Amino acid sequence: MVIGALTMELRLPGIRSLKEKRSVLRPLITGIRQKFNVSVAEAGKQDKWQASELIIVCVSANAALAHRLLEEVLSFVEQNGKTMITATNLEIL
């Protein structure tokens, strides 16, 4: 069994309140969960309006599958259009 973890720092340009931030992040997080069947949590920068840190975690049979799945999640977030990825860290444990 292999655990994969992807940490992403996001920039949310044009956001002016925490309520507006939630309205952008909630559908993104739900979409990631539904499409990829992974765990997602906002782990940092929760008090910043225009920034967020998401952690996506998956469990897989082997490292290659976990890596490929997390790369697909990364591509999905890049195509979102409402957020900009400023940093990523992918770990396979």
Which of 12-16, 52-56, 73-77 has the weakest average pLDDT?
Answer: 12-16
Structure tokens belonging to residue 17: 């309140």
Which of the two residues, 31 and 14, has the higher pLDDT score? 31
pLDDT for residue 2 is more than 90: yes
Q: Which CATH class is domain 2-92?
A: alpha beta
Q: Which of 75, 45, 42 is nearest to 56 (CA)?
A: 42
Delimit the domains of the chain by residue range. 2-92
The overall average pLDDT reported for the chain is: 93
Q: Please, which pLDDT band fits residue 48 given cuts at 50, 70 and 90?
A: confident
Task: Read off the pTM.
Answer: 0.89
Alpha-helical (H) ranges within 1-48 are 18-36
Q: Are 82 and 12 in contact (CB under 8 A)?
A: yes
How confident is the model at residue 82, as a pLDDT?
Answer: 86
